[in-house]
Amino acid sequence: MTENRISVTRELTAEGLEIRGVLPPGLSGTLYRNGPNPRFPGGDAHWFLGDGMVHAMTLGPGGASYRNRWVVPAGQARLLGKANTNIIRHGGRMMALEEAHAPVMFDPHPHPPPGATGPMPAAWHVGTAPFTAHPKHDPHTGELVFFGYAADGPWSDAIRCGTLAPSGRLTWETRIRAPFCSMIHDMAVTPDHVLLPVLALVGRADRTDRSGFGFAWQPELGGRLALLRRGGDGRDVRWFDAPPGYAFHIVNAWEEGGRLFLDLLVYDEPPLFPRGDGAPCSCAGVRPQRWSVPLDGPGEARVTALPDVTGEFPRIDERFAGSRHARFYLASRAPGGGAGSFHAITRMDAESGEGDGFDFGTDASVSEPVFVPRAPDAARDEGWLLAVAWRPDWRTSRLVVFDAGHIVDGPVATVILPQRVPDGFHGNFIPDAHPGRGIA
């Protein structure tokens, strides 16, 4: 385990934090970040299975503050799951997400009342089946599109897809059958379609004692891509052979010229997991690719290489999700850097191949960069990038704010946090004047 994956044990609330540089005057709200933070460190449990902890960093005219809280109260993980992967807002509720369980309602206030954490309201009809940690917010309709694998119970081949209205009400749900139980971490969504990458990271009950997680890489089974029409009954699902490799995260998707395109980050085989024979998978680097499938008629998946960068946790200006993007942002590291932490923030131009960024040093650890528009009506990609960085020679972690158009110039503002923030997964910035639609 890398040094910055060691758990923190204190729940803190700290006001009036030191700020170096100048916070952008219009940047007012809270960056929430979720990740695994085992309550009882030790043993050989998979890092992905740690208890969820949310770190909240609030910025505004009054300065900067920080608080961190366990998501699930002690003793309730068996009921609610770990809730350790993402945190979003939809329908006026904060939802902590982890793909093996249903969403967990989470009250982010400094002193939430008893019972503030628990299952989602019954009126939402979310149910108890697994719910992805990567639902997609439709910026045009305000809907939240989701899926869940193993929907008929552990290791089952059922996948459900659905939509929550801006109010949170379930408005569409359907189910399909996959060739096997695949760990589907992310999805591609356009205004009209959903694409699910059913890749060959395969779950079986008889593996849980050996790996602690139950999933292993079996490329001989072949991956598949499932294309569904949003609002359909699932019987119109179209299947395509997937290109080689495994992807945790999808950058974005759009439709053009009769095809659905998706940019994603592809590994030869998934790091941190075993192969089918129990040997560890390679930790070779990840590479961006563009996949596409035909929307109608016969055809096959196509692959196009994108600019070479070794990175993860991609984000875009999500006001334009579902339409073609020009740039994306990600945490990155030097090529061939293995499976350790990322130490730089990079902006990539998906068309020209040009990229620039800021490197904190190879011993640093940098989180997913979250894009925040300068204003609700700002031009595309005009805004800020927020990330959490840590170095061994720093006493604590730091919240860094970049001008998204000038990352190479370094942070315009740095907030000194009161403790170390361990490596985590995903989060979102919730502005103070929230417009009422979810940010996913």
* Residue 249 annotated as part of some ligand binding site: yes
Report the half-sphere exposure of 370 (CA within 13 A, side-chain side): 28
Sign, CA dihedral 117-118-121-124, equals: positive
Cβ count within 10 A of residue 292: 23
- 349 near 355, Cβ under 8 Å? yes
Report the distance separating Cα 106 and Cα 89, nearest Å: 10
- The CA distances from residue 342 to 87, 108, 316, 337, 349, in Å, are 21, 27, 18, 9, 19
Structure tokens at 102: 């249903």
State the residue for tokens 């992805």.
132
Cβ count within 10 A of residue 47: 15
- 155 near 203, Cβ under 8 Å? yes
* Residue 134 annotated as part of some ligand binding site: yes
Report the distance separating Cα 428 and Cα 103, nearest Å: 16
Binding positions: 134, 185, 249, 426
Binding positions for Fe cation: 134, 185, 249, 426
